[in-house]
Amino acid sequence: MKGFVHLYTGNGKGKTTAAFGLALRACGAGLTVFFGQFIKGQKYHENIATQKYLKNIEIKQYGLDCFIINKPTTEDINAAKKGLAEMKKIILDGKYDVVVMDEVTIALHYKLFTLKELLRIIENRPKNVELVLTGRYAPTEIIEVADLVTEMKEVKHYYQQGIKARKGIEY
């Protein structure tokens, strides 16, 4: 089966959720999935559910804490670079049918690694690996190499009314 490159980007909610939906569907079809999360270091309930119930999906986080309101530290940069190197090996190995690079475009936005490094991984991946990229601020170069691009657009969100992230819904 030929693998394609998906990109879920934009300022709206749902990019990671869409990637997990695809991962769940792939798992149901007997495919193996690796879900690497850049930036994120805290536990999300989808990670817990996956570890508990879905053995075809492996998740690893390459973030330490959410620095989005601050500047990334040297430790954040090192964690992302280590994650990119590990994901490169995972992708090139071809062991997984589907590989998700969650929040990878946010990592690019914060210059945790270079666009050139990511493009090289995308271009050199085995042609049977389905690759899913998520995150805001996707650069034009990533949009151009992707086979499928979905932009999540925020029209209205209850966060604007001061509603905090809710267990099981946003995390």
Q: Is residue 167 part of a domain?
A: no
Q: In what order do the strands lie in the sheet with 98-102?
A: 57-62, 33-38, 98-102, 130-134, 5-9, 148-151
Q: In angstroms, rounded to a whole number, what is the distance separating the alpha carbons of residues 122 and 53?
A: 30
The pTM score is 0.91
The amino acid present at 30, given as its one-letter code, is G
| Residue 158 DSSP symbol | G
In this model, does residue 162 exceed pLDDT 70? yes
How many structural domains is the chain composed of?
1
pLDDT grade for 137, boundaries at 50, 70 and 90: very high
Q: Is residue 171 part of a domain?
A: no
Q: Is residue 170 part of a domain?
A: no
Q: Is residue 29 part of a domain?
A: yes
Residue 69: what pLDDT? 67
Q: Is residue 166 part of a domain?
A: no
pLDDT grade for 160, boundaries at 50, 70 and 90: confident
Q: Is residue 106 part of a domain?
A: yes
Residue 57: domain span: 5-161
CATH of the domain at 108: 3.40.50.300
pLDDT grade for 66, boundaries at 50, 70 and 90: low
Residue 167: what pLDDT? 78
Average pLDDT, integer, range 40-46: 74
* Rounded alpha-carbon distances, angstroms, from residue 72 to 38, 65, 66, 107, 128: 12, 10, 9, 10, 34
Q: Is residue 169 part of a domain?
A: no
Q: Is residue 121 part of a domain?
A: yes
Ramachandran class of 168: left when φ > 0, alpha when ψ lies in -120 to 50, beta otherwise: left
Tokens 């089966």 appear where?
Answer: 1
